[in-house]
Structure 1
Amino acid sequence: MSIDLVAFDVDGVMTDGRFDYTANGKQMKSFGPDDADALKILKSTVPIVFVSADRRGFPITERRIAHDMGHEVTLVGSGERLDWLAARAPLDRIAYMGDSFTDIPVLEEVATGITTADALPGVQAAAQYVTRRRGGDRAVAEACFHLLVERFDQSQWEGIA
C-alpha cells in the first residue's frame, strides 16, 4: 500500500527535545539543520503534518513549523493521536515519526513507524525504521530520504542519508 500522509511529532524529532526555561518560562527550542530542506522535497510527493503536545511551547513550535517552514502543525495530546490521525487518513496509509514512549501505540498501528537513534529501546522496538541520527540533528532529513526511497521508489535519493 502507498502512503497518503506523513506525520511528524515535533519535540525530540524536529528538536533535540530540550526546553530552555528562564524565570519568565519556556523561551527556546533547538531545531536542527537540513530537516526543512528535506521536508520540502518530501512535501512535493506526499502531504505532511506536524503534531505537538507541548502547550506551553506551542507558540515556538508554531513559529518554526507553520510560519517559517509553511507546514500544518496541530496541538494534539499523545493519547489523542491515533484518533486524530485516523480521521485524516487510514492508519495503514500513514507514516509517523515520533520519539517518546507515548508514541508507541501510534508507531505500532501506522504503515511505517519511524523513530530517532536516541529514543528509548522500547520505542525503537515499536518502529519499523530507526534513524542513525538523533532528534534535532538531521533525523527528520534522514527519515524523509528513507521514505522517498523505500515508500515512493525515488531512487535518486538513495545514499543521501
Structure 2
Amino acid sequence: MIRLIIMDVDGVLTDGRIILDDNGVEYKFFDVKDGHIFHIIHNFGIKTAIVSGRYSEVTNIRAKQLGVEDVYQDVHNKMTAYGELKRKYNLNNDEIAYIGDDVIDIPPMIVSGFSACPSDAHQEVKKVSDYISPLPGGRGAVRDIVEYIMKQEGIWEEMMKKYLLIDGYGIV
C-alpha cells in the first residue's frame, strides 16, 4: 500500500517553464486539477512530499496551499531526501511512490515501490517508470498518476462514493 508520494516540481507539477520578469520575479504554471488531488489523497492518509533540484519561493507557496508538509529544495542528490522521508515516516520502499521527469529523479524512482512520470519526461526516466501518464507535466499528469495509484490501491471507488454522495452517503 502506498503511504507516501514524493514528486519533483519543475516538469512534474509545472510544465517546466520558469518565467522571470524584469525585476527577477519568478512565475510558474500549476494546474488546478493537479492541486485538487492533493486534498483528496490527504483525506485518505497518504502523505505527499516535494523534492526539487532548485529552490523557488513559488514552490513553498504552492506546497503550503496543497498541504504538503515536507518540502526539500536545492537538492542535488534526491536519494538523501528520499532516505530522510523514508525514515521519518518509518516506511519500506514498497510504500513509497515517486513521480519524476528528469535523470536526477532516476535513483529514487528505481528504489521506490512505484514510479511514474509525465508523458514529456526524459526518455531515460520513461525506461524506469512503472507508469507513464498520457499527460505532460503541469497539465494534469500528477492528477492522472495519483488517480492511477488510487485505483491500483483499491481506494478510488471509496473516494468516488464520498464525492458522489452514494452508497450510504445519501443523495438528496
Question: Same fold by TM (over 0.5)?
Answer: yes
Aligned length: 152
Segments of structure 2 that go 5 or more residues without pairing to the other structure are 87-91, 161-172
1:107 corresponds to: 109
2:24 corresponds to: 25
Structure showing greater radius of gyration is 2
2:163 corresponds to: none
Shift of 1:8: 1.3
Shift of 1:155: 4.2
1:14 corresponds to: 13
Matched, 1:74 2:76: no
> d(CA) in 2 for partners of 1:96 and 1:62?
19
1:88 corresponds to: 85
SS at match of 2:31: coil
SS at match of 1:88: helix
> d(CA) in 1 for partners of 2:6 and 2:81?
11
Q: Which protein has the bigger strand share?
A: 1
Mapped contact 2:75–2:81 kept (Cα < 8 A): no
> d(CA) in 1 for partners of 2:81 and 2:54?
16
1:26-41 to 2 correspondences below 5 Å: 26-41=25-40
**TM-score normalised by the chain length of structure 2:** 0.81
Shift of 1:141: 0.5
**TM-score normalised by the chain length of structure 1:** 0.86
